[in-house]
Structure 1
């Protein structure tokens, strides 16, 4: 199978009259070795179903099809979506293993929205060169709406990768760090140079490996929550409350939690009381709290205790 090189990318852009859009976060990979490395690191096996967001001209798509897996490619640009199957066939890929959806990936609300051909399994892996301007919302959204996703291997702006993998008190630690930690664990896989893209971006890139953890088990172990109370509905209610607390705390990250959570709790005094009920020191700042700490705060607000009973 022939993968796309720099000349192929430039010729495809000219033929399709496509100018890479900063608004859509488009930077096309021109180096076959890079996409092959990503596809190999994803660990997909023949017959696996993979979802790819923003396939663009198909550089990574070809590398995934080379692994003999099935690819659901979600592309917002109609011109690129229409051209993708043609490019796959011209470069020797099995186009029967490709399903292209012309849609905004953020509008996918569940597995039922995926155009899964008959016989295809639900995707268990997200592998993509994510549009850099919406990478975090996309990953968080897909973890929420596709519970069957076991992991993701995605290329993003290096600065975004720093936030995703940051630990408590790290310089890059923030709301994205905590929200991803709710779903699982993220680590850097490898760096990617600027010269493998067309056009070359003004930022460095990195591939991040994310693995989903079983939230119900984590809550039982970390917070000793009641197993009987941990229904899917209760967990989703708790998640939304956790994310609301995270947003409030990091919106004023230089202030103490007593102040940054004042509006969230109702007043500074109410925030202090809530934090004390959760076992969190009111004088701390947001970057000192783990996902477990924020979950305790959310549980205390919802139930008056860290237990869902």
Structure 2
């Protein structure tokens, strides 16, 4: 089938199939072939690559991924869109459509099934997704903490969210998700995407982020669960000092004062000013 990534073809498909793009699911379809190519280029795909796409929509990006990668696994939760995808992706023998909720799926298992691997080490693979706002945080955390064999993620998110993920300590955009993304990956902006290249047109622009999985985190942490509990406590009450914010973890103030002293952290600082290394020092001192 001809490329879906044009306004005319997308509108024709929507009308022909009686589709109503759901705002609740962030269904805004890409209609610019140039942007589609740039997203696929950012994923650095070759014939030996397996790529998992979350939310293929009408298949505009899927078509491009299939032309570049050895295998594409496209996960779609909307049954009506799945029916349309079987047509827009007809003839793409290297594409597997999966009906399901990406939050509930084990990506490694999907890739292993698609590659016919029952035993042995699974090769790394890549993930490409246009993430709707309502699911960005849970999907990101699922991808980051699931211990999957993901080498690279190319994710389109709302611009505001993208800048938050890249934020450095000291600003209001910096938060717990910024720390998590920067702990597990090396994030960078691949391209900026204007709202005008979607149908229907969203209210905000987007960013495509390239998240390269780190082979090891930038800081040594003995207990990741504790590390992230400390981070969540620090950012859950942003206006409080780090001393008072950590009080929510049920430690006496005298204990917390000693912990922060051992970590070399001024107890009057706020969580949003702390670096990954400083959170790691608090975690070590806590233990």
Deviations 1:260-296 (A, max 9, x none): 1111242433332222232322111111111222222
1:190-209 aligned at under 5 Å gives the runs 190-209=191-210
The residue aligned with 2:149 is 148
Q: How far did residue 26 of structure 1 move?
A: 1.5
Aligned length: 282
Q: Is the 8 A contact 2:56 2:76 kept in 1?
A: yes
Q: Distance in 2 between matches of 1:152 and 1:143?
A: 10
**Mapping of residues 2-13 of structure 1, within 5 Å:** 2-4=2-4, 5-13=6-14
Shift of 1:214: 2.0
Query: How big is the alpha-carbon RMSD for the aligned residues of Structure 1 and Structure 2?
Result: 2.1
Quick check: 1:85–1:95 contact (8 Å CA) kept in 2? Answer: no
Q: Relative to 1, partners in 2 of residues 1:211 and 1:172: Cα closer, same or farther, differing over 3 Å? A: same
After TM superposition, the structure 1 stretch with the greater mean CA deviation from structure 2, 145-154 or 27-36, is: 145-154
Q: Which residue of 2 aligns with 1:105?
A: 102
Aligned residue for 2:93, secondary structure, equals helix
Q: CA deviation at 1:14?
A: 2.5
Give secondary structure in 1 for the equivalent of 2:190. strand
Calculate the TM-score normalised by the size of structure 2. 0.90
Contact kept, 8 Å, 1:99 with 1:115, in 2: the verdict is no
State the match for 1:186 in structure 2: 187
CA distance in 1, matches of 2:128, 2:88: 19
Q: Residue 153 of structure 2: SS of its match in structure 1? A: strand
1:116-140, Cα deviation, whole Å (9 max, x unpaired): 3244765521112112221232122
Match of 1:83, SS state, is helix
Distance 1:9 1:47, change over 3 A: same
Query: 1-side partners of 2:38 and 2:110: how far apart?
Result: 30
Q: CA deviation at 1:110?
A: 5.1
| Contact 2:144–2:184 (8 Å) recurs in 1 | yes
* Per-residue Cα deviation, 1:63-120 (whole angstroms, up to 9, x for no partner): 111214311111111221233132112xxxx522111111111112451255732447
Q: Tell me which residue corresponds to 2:226.
A: 241
Partner in structure 2 of residue 39 of structure 1: 40
Match of 1:48 in 2: 49
Query: Which stretch shifts more, 151-160 or 133-142?
Result: 133-142
Aligned residue for 1:27?
A: 28
d(CA) in 2 for partners of 1:118 and 1:211? 23
Note if contact 1:264-1:271 (Cα within 8 Å) is conserved in structure 2: no
For 1:203-218, list aligned pairs within 5 A: 203-215=204-216, 218=218
**Matches of 1:28 and 1:49, distance apart in 2:** 23
Find the aligned partners of 1:298 and 1:8 in 2 and give their Cα distance.
Answer: 54
* Matching of residue 252 in structure 1 with residue 237 in structure 2: yes
Q: Which runs of 5+ in 2 are unaligned?
A: none
SS at match of 2:127: strand
SS of residue matched to 2:98:
strand
Distance 1:265 1:132, change over 3 A: same
Alignment of 1:1-309 (within 5 A): 2-4=2-4, 5-89=6-90, 94-109=91-106, 111-114=108-111, 116-119=113-116, 122=123, 124-215=125-216, 218-219=218-219, 223=220, 238-301=223-286, 303=287
| CA distance in structure 1 between the partners assigned to 2:12 and 2:30 by the alignment | 14
In the TM superposition, what whole-angstrom CA distance separates every residue of 1:203-231 from its partner, at most 9, and x where no partner exists?
A: 11111111111236x44xxx4x7xxxxxx
Gaps of 5+ in 1: 226-234, 304-309
My pick for the range that moved more, 17-26 or 98-107, is 17-26
CA distance in 2, matches of 1:252, 1:79: 42
1:10 deviation in Å?
1.7
The answer (yes or no) to whether the contact 2:227–2:283 under 8 Å persists in 1 is yes
